[in-house]
Structure formats: structure tokens, C-alpha cells
Structure 1
Amino acid sequence: MTPPTLKTERLILRAPRLEDFEAWAAYFASDRSVPEGGPFDRAEAWRRWAADVALWSLRGYGAFGCDDKATGAYVGEVGLDEPEGFPEPELGWFVVPPAEGHGFAAEAARAVIDWTAETFDWPRLVTITDPGNARSIALARRLGGIEDASLPGVCPGDAVFRYDLRGIRAA
């Protein structure tokens, strides 16, 4: 599947590009990646990035590279992930340091939630995060996610937030 291009007020969400990997490598080399099991060396960052990109062909969904409409700058990645061992597709995000604090992740995540509701007949979408990742938890809540301890995470103690897609389709 070729990823669609989604547009928001300030962003263009598009297919991943090879040049996006540099931001991935930097992210996963930093302590910011600790909630995701990092830091990782460049080779492991490549394996994870390549697996994310491959989801588009294998499952028909994946992560979008996000560019600022005004400047064309890459601001991060938002999309769906479901590596082996995940209980269901997950909405995830990261932004590059210069793009933090501008609401880009929330804006892109809302677009991905809407696209998912329109494209797939799924009852929900989840975000799975480390319970100590306060920024991701705050964003999941801001997006309307409801913490649901009955849903499985990936690691013991994961915080799992659900988004009801049926309500979005009905709107």
C-alpha cells in the first residue's frame, strides 16, 4: 500500500523517506528513547525504522513523516505501529527537539485518528506507553484517550489508553 498524504492546518503527513532516518537515529541514540527501551545504536535504530516503514506494505498502515507546511522542515513521526508482540495497532508519535512544544504531535495524531476511523472498521485504537512517560500520557489524554487497565500492554505495568473510533465514524 502506498501511504496517503494527510494535511492539517500546519502539517503535511506523508510517506516515510530515507532522510527521515537521521532523526530516528538521533532520537534512539538519546535518553529520550528510554521509555521505548533505548538508547539504541544506529544499527538497532535502523532495524526499528525499517520495520516501521515496512508496515505500510505488510499491514496497510504505518507511520507518517510529518513536515511543517510553512518551512518544509521535518518535525517528527506520527502513525500506527504494530510490531510482533503488540496486542493491537498502536497510535504513537515522536517529534524532533526543535519541534517540541508547538502542538505538532497532537495535531498530527488527531489527523491519524480520523484517518484510521475512516479507513478501518476497528472499534478502537490504543496508545501504549511507559507509566513514567508523563509527556506521552498527557498527550494521550489531550487526544481523548481513556486509560484502560483492562487492555494489555507490551510490558508489565504499561499504561494503555484507548480511543473510541466508533464515535468518530458516527460524527
Structure 2
Amino acid sequence: MISRPKHIVHATAPVIQTERLRLRMPRFEDFVHRKAFYASDRAVWEGGPYAAEQAWRIFASEVAQWPLMGFGPFSMEDPVTEEYLGEVGIYQPLGYPEPELGWYVVDHAEGKGLAAEGARAVMAWARDTFGWDHIDNYIDPGNARSIALALRLGGTLVDGPGADPSDVVIRHHLRAEL
């Protein structure tokens, strides 16, 4: 069951600035990057690859979480060039037991620590905004890179429900890690 906040704190994404990133509300033009991701072999960890129409439905429903739930995805961009670098945020589609922390970066931004930097900023924002003590990742067991990143961020493996029964669930204790 989806746990909707008692009141919506944000109907749109706030802007969060980190050392190398600006996290902002997704825009229509960001979809071209998500469409490319969902068409690629990298989307296998998200149930894909997907055709453009299905990628649009996923993107639009995730962005719609902002006015409906008060959280959602942030687009990550270079604060100087405004180049789109990926996405990080909080997701809770139907069937997720709790809000989930997730991320992806465009191909040329991989391996630079940007997903970790964005995830840390989102975890701090979630703690400060909602008062949450934890947030989980639900990761396909074959996605070794995301599992490694979640553990590097200080998360711990827990025995709990994920979005799928086979998911690896990694919990981030927001009061201890940040």
C-alpha cells in the first residue's frame, strides 16, 4: 500500500545544490535521456528494455509523484553547463512497500561518483523534510553496480520486502549515515 504523506510538503521538486550537481524538477526535455536509457540494455535492471511509449508512461508517472506525494525524482545537471547527467530521487509506485531511493546516470557520467553525491543529498533532504529515519533501495540481485553503490553509501542489507520478491533490500539509516 502506498503511504501518502499527511500533507504535501512539495508540489514540485525543490532545487538542491551540491558540490558538482544541481538537483531540480524534471522537465519535458529530460525525457529524451530517460527514453534512451529505457531503450538500452542497462534497463534490464528496471524490467526493460522498453519502447518509447512505455518509457514515457514510467517517466510521467514518476514525475507526477511530486504533486501527488510530495516527493519524486530529481534531474541531476551540471550547475555550470546545465548538462543533464541523470536522475536521483524517491520513488513509490503502486506495489512498493515504502518509498525507495533510486538513481541512474547517463553513460558518459558513470564512474564519477555523481549518483553517490546526488543520493547523499536526497537522503539528507528526506531526513530533514519528512523526518524519516530510513529509506531503502530495492535492487535486482544481478545489478552488482547499484548494490555496491548502495553499500558504499553506508546502507546495510536487510531482510525485508522489496518491489519484487527477489529484490536485494538495502536500508539507509538517515540519522546515522549523513
- Give TM class, smaller chain: over 0.9
Give the Cα–Cα distance (whole angstroms) in 2 for the partners of residues 135 and 42 of structure 1.
Answer: 25
Provide the TM-score with structure 1 as the length reference: 0.95
Moved over 4 A (4+): none
The aligned residue for residue 174 of structure 2 is 165
Write the deviation string for residues 38-72 of structure 1: whole angstroms up to 9, x where unpaired: 00000000000000100000000000000012322
Identity of aligned residues (%): 54
Residue matched to 2:62: 52
Quote the Cα distance in structure 2 between the aligned partners of 1:16 and 1:127.
21
Q: What is the CA deviation profile of residues 112-135 of structure 1, one whole-angstrom value per residue up to 9, with x for unaligned ones?
A: 000000001222100000011001
Hey, what does 2:108 align to over in structure 1?
Answer: 98
Question: Partner of 2:162 in structure 1?
Answer: 153
Structure 1 residue aligned with 2:129: 119
CA RMSD of aligned residues (A): 1.1
CA shift, 1:155, in A, is 1.4
Write the letter of the residue equivalent to 1:111: A
Unpaired runs of 5+ residues, structure 1, are: none
Deviations 1:132-165 (A, max 9, x none): 100100110111110102x101212210000112
With the length of structure 2 as denominator, give the TM-score of the two structures.
0.91
Gapped regions of structure 2 (runs ≥ 5): 1-10
Matched positions, count: 168
Aligned to 1:18: 28
Secondary structure of 2:33 counterpart: helix
Q: CA deviation at 1:3?
A: 1.1
Partner of 2:3: none
**Aligned counterpart, 1:40:** 50
Q: SS at 2:64's partner residue?
A: helix
Distance 1:79 1:137 in 2: 16
Which deviations, in whole Å up to 9, do the C-alpha atoms of 1:82-105 show, x marking residues without a partner?
Answer: 000000000000000011111110
